[in-house]
């Protein structure tokens, strides 16, 4: 078994034999000709054939991948009619008295270099388009077929590079996935792969000896296994089956509103722990992010993450979510999450110790760095901030004061920030009991059921001996949730659940009846919960 | 000669398809229509040249038309830009 790394274009798994695809490289020779006019006519005729082919490809692509993605072929046809491109071909034929093939190849190279040298990734990627159209015209001149060729059985295609036209021409029922050495994630081929849900890796060190060998593409990790061993193969087959089941569910539920039969809308959001999870959030069609655990930024490092580092991460998430809500929870370390460089003392009872907001309000410099990064990022999307482990109104007032300071500083420096909702986690019995007062201070509540259960039942979740009495459906917890919802609503604030209980499908209906506004769950739970919401009634 | 300036709102910028459609629209007029951006200028009917300007979102461009039907050409360009870019 060999393992290779590449950049993933689409997060799926493909298992099958490799077909090593080699382009029938057009070896263009420079040949002197006598009659330039005749040669230009040859070129015109070949161009017509190429445009006719592109129109056909456009039609096929409209059916296969939709109009928006088929546009590329319309654009290719337009490029072939571009005056500068054509002038260059005519010019080379006339002044050098050379064959049309050579004139097209040279023109194609020149324009493709022009695009390749541009700064912007989008324009850079157009270089491949120019090459693709030029090869098409040359093929028409030589009289060869540009067909990608028939694949007998479903295969993983390995190639140096794939042009969009090649990708679309491949029989989709036989194309399991592809790996290429070249290409960019902005290329049309990459976009098409994503639209067609084809697992694909680029930047893989491909080898022609792979032809006919068994392989696995793991689009999640960006890995390619050639000749996988049986254990790996079995594991990926199981994974693939799970994916298929999820896709089936997705197909029937994607795009549908999270609305009960009687029309109550529930905000169904996702919990994430890093930027990498955002793709999964979008793939599962979540309406937003209800809990972004910012700890990973601190846990991954050996020193405090800078404002700039944090800003980049928050901004990326906000931009990728394109206007959908992103609730980011401020640093929640301590207890079971320890970070060496914080140099914290050993505690007898860390769960009830120096953690989360308690650290932030004590070491305000760390807190302010994070808040500044959050407020700056809020100019790029719909960011809300949520504070963990709250036990008093005074804490919230302190937090709000610090937030105001940050905003003033930013304004004074002419730095933009957006409209940020501030909310608190309700995860201590104290916060539940004073939720009526807290509701006056904040924009929303999010109930963290894991800690709330542990603190309310006085049961350490890590202690396996207590498993038999640890009841997450304990009436005390359900009553508390109801109380928090009612107190939130009394002040016109929205209330959600972001703990594990939020994803407990046996309680979804009950929460809806209680009046919950938001549920934030792991991305993989979004669709199963959507299904229940759509079958439930809020009264 | 008539001209107007416009700020590109499309998130990619002047990308291939609108550039191609713009070229088509411009060909319907006898006036010479140019687009200026980043200190460079290109004939609007020339798709690759227009793309070669590399106009990104938020950039300001100036469209100029000169010829017998310059009024109509400018009106059409304005309409096209605000609808597509």
What is the arithmetic mean of pLDDT over A162-171? Answer: 74
List the one residue out of A428, A419, A432, A336 whose CA is nearest residue A382.
A419
Three-state SS at A128:
helix
Among residues A161, A233, A172, A231, the alpha carbon closest in space to that of A198 is found at A172
Q: Are A499 and A505 in contact (CB under 8 A)?
A: no
Structure confidence at residue A147 (pLDDT): 55
Q: Which chain B residues are closer than 8 Å to A126 by Cβ?
A: 16, 51
Q: Least CB-CB distance to A120: which of B16, B43, B56?
A: B56
State whether B48 and A79 contact (CB < 8 Å).
yes
Cβ-defined contact of B23 to A82 (cutoff 8 Å): yes
> Active-site residue among A76, A360, A403, A498?
A498
Residues of chain A with CATH 1.10.274.10: 22-142
What was the pLDDT predicted at A295?
Answer: 87
pTM to 2 decimals? Answer: 0.54
HSE at residue A151, side-chain half, CA atoms within 13 A, is: 26
pLDDT in tens, A184-236: 766 667 777 776 778 999 889 998 889 889 999 998 889 999 999 999 999 99
What are the tens digits of pLDDT across the range A452-510?
A: 999 999 988 777 788 788 888 999 999 999 999 999 999 999 999 998 899 988 999 99
What pLDDT shows up at residue A188? 66
Distance from CA of A82 to the nearest CA of B (A): 6
Please work out, in degrees rounded to the nearest 5, the angle formed at the alpha carbon of residue A254 by the alpha carbons of A250 and A255.
Answer: 180
Residue ranges per domain, chain B? 2-84
B48 at A interface, C-beta within 8 A? yes
Asked if A473 is an active-site residue, the reply is no
**Chain A hits for B45, Cβ within 8 Å:** 83
Three-state secondary structure of A19-32: EECCCCCCCCCCCE
Task: Considering chain A, tell me which residue range(s) the CATH 3.20.20.60 domain(s) occupy.
Answer: 247-535
Domain B2-84 has CATH 3.30.1340.10: yes
* Span A42-53, average pLDDT: 93
Angstrom distances, CA of residue A440 to CA of A177, A269, A423, A434, A443: 54, 24, 11, 10, 8
Distance from CA of B15 to the nearest CA of A (A): 8
3-state DSSP assignment of residue A514: helix
Residue B43 host element (H or E): strand B40-43
B33-76: per-residue pLDDT in tens? 999 988 889 999 988 889 888 898 888 999 999 999 999 999 99
Return the DSSP state at B2: E
User: What is the structure's pLDDT at A66?
Assistant: 75
Note whether B17 contacts A75, CB cutoff 8 Å: yes
Task: Please tell me the least confidently modeled range out of A23-32, A120-129, A396-405.
Answer: A23-32
A25 CB near a chain B CB, below 8 Å? no
For residue A28, what pLDDT band results from cuts at 50, 70 and 90?
A: confident
Q: Does A122 touch chain B (CB under 8 A)?
A: yes
Q: What is the CA radius of gyration of chain A?
A: 29
Query: What pLDDT, on a 0 to 100 scale, did the predictor assign at position A246?
Result: 75
Provide the chain A residues 79-118 that lie in CB contact (below 8 A) with chain B.
79, 81-85, 111, 114-115, 118
What average pLDDT does chain A have? 89
Give the right CATH number for A22-142 from 3.30.390.50, 1.10.274.10, 3.40.718.10, 3.40.225.10. Answer: 1.10.274.10
Element (H, E) at B23: helix B16-27
**Are B20 and A122 an interchain contact pair (Cβ–Cβ within 8 Å)?**
no
Q: Do B48 and A129 touch (CB under 8 A)?
A: no
Cβ density class A234-249: b for 16+ within 10 Å, e for less = eebeebbeebeeeeeb
Residues A333-353, mean pLDDT to the nearest whole number: 81
Kindly tell me the sign of the dihedral angle through the C-alpha atoms of A58, A62, A63, A68. positive
Tokens linked to A298: 């601190």
Question: What CATH superfamily classification does A247-535 receive?
Answer: Phosphoenolpyruvate-binding domains (3.20.20.60)
pLDDT of amino acid A50: 92
Q: What percent of chain A shows pLDDT beyond 90?
A: 53
Is the pLDDT at A148 greater than 60? The verdict is no
Using the predicted structure, report yes or no on whether residue A160 has a pLDDT greater than 90: no
Q: Please check whether residue B47 touches A, CB under 8 A.
A: yes
In this structure, are residues B43 and B23 in contact, taking their beta carbons and an 8 Å threshold? Answer: no
- Tokens representing residue B45 in the block: 């009917």
Active site residue B29: no
Q: In DSSP terms, which residues pair with A158 in a beta bridge? A: A20, A179
Check pLDDT > 90 for residue A151.
no
Instruction: Inspect the interface and report whether the beta carbons of B52 and A118 lie closer than 8 Å.
Output: yes
Please indicate if any CB of chain A lies within 8 Å of the CB of B20.
yes
**DSSP secondary structure code for residue A516 in this structure:** -
Task: Summarize the confidence of residues A99-109 as an average pLDDT.
Answer: 91
CB contact under 8 A, A75 and B45: no
- Is the predicted pLDDT of residue A149 greater than 70, yes or no? no
């Amino acid at each position: 078994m060999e393992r290779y790394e590449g950049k993933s274009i689409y997060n799926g798994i493909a298992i099958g034999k490799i077909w090593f695809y080699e382009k029938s490289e057009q070896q263009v020779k420079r040949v002197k000709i006598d009659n330039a006019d005749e040669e230009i006519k040859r070129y015109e005729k070949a161009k017509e054939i190429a445009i006719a082919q592109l129109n056909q490809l456009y039609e096929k692509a409209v059916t296969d991948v939709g109009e928006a993605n088929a546009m590329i072929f319309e654009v290719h046809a337009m490029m072939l009619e571009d005056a500068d491109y054509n002038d260059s071909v005519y010019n080379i034929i006339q002044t050098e008295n050379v064959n049309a093939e050579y004139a097209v190849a040279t023109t194609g190279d020149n324009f493709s270099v022009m695009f390749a040298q541009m700064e912007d990734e989008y324009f850079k990627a157009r270089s491949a388009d120019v090459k693709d159209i030029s090869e098409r015209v040359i093929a028409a001149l030589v009289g060869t077929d540009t067909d990608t060729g028939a694949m007998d059985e479903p295969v993983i295609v390995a190639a140096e590079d794939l042009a969009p036209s090649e990708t679309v021409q491949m029989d989709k029922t036989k194309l399991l996935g592809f790996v290429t050495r070249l290409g960019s994630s902005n290329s049309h081929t990459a976009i098409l792969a994503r639209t067609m849900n084809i697992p694909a890796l680029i930047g893989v060190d491909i080898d022609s000896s792979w032809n006919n060998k068994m392989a696995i593409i793991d689009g999640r990790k960006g890995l390619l296994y050639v000749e996988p061993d049986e254990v790996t193969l079995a594991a990926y087959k199981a994974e693939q089956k799970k994916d298929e089941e999820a896709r089936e569910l997705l197909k029937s539920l994607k795009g549908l509103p999270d609305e009960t039969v009687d029309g109550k809308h529930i905000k169904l959001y996702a919990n994430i722990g890093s930027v990498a999870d955002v793709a999964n959030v979008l793939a599962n069609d979540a309406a937003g992010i209800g809990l972004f655990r910012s700890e990973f930024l601190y846990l991954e490092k050996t020193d405090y993450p800078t404002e700039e580092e944090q800003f980049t991460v928050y901004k990326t998430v906000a931009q990728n979510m394109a206007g959908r809500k992103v609730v980011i929870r401020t640093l929640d370390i301590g207890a079971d999450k320890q970070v060496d460089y914080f140099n914290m003392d050993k505690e007898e009872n860390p769960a009830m110790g120096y953690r989360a907001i308690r650290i932030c309000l004590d070491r305000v410099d760390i807190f302010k760095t994070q808040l500044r990064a959050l407020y700056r990022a809020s100019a790029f999307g719909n960011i809300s901030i949520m504070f963990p482990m709250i036990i008093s109104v005074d804490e919230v007032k302190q937090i709000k004061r610090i937030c105001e300071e940050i905003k003033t500083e930013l304004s004074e420096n002419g730095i933009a920030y957006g409209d940020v909702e501030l909310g608190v986690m309700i995860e201590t019995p104290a916060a539940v009991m004073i939720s009526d007062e807290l509701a006056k201070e904040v924009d929303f509540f999010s109930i963290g059921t894991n800690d709330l259960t542990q603190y309310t039942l006085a049961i350490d979740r890590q202690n396996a001996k207590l498993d038999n009495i640890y009841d997450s459906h304990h009436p005390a917890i359900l009553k508390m949730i109801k109380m928090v919802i009612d107190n939130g609503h009394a002040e016109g604030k929205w209330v959600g659940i972001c703990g594990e209980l939020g994803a407990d499908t046996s309680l979804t209906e009950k929460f809806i009846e209680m009046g919950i506004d938001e549920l934030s769950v792991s991305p993989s739970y979004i669709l199963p919960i959507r299904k229940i919401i759509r079958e439930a009634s809020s009264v | 000669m008539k001209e107007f300036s416009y700020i590109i709102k499309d998130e990619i910028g002047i990308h291939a398809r609108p550039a191609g459609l713009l070229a088509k629209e411009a060909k319907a007029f006898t006036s010479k229509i140019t687009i200026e951006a980043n200190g460079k200028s290109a004939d609007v009917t020339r798709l690759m040249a227009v793309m070669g300007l590399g106009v990104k979102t938020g950039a300001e461009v100036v469209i100029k038309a000169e010829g017998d039907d310059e009024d109509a050409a400018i009106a059409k360009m304005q309409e096209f830009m605000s609808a597509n870019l």
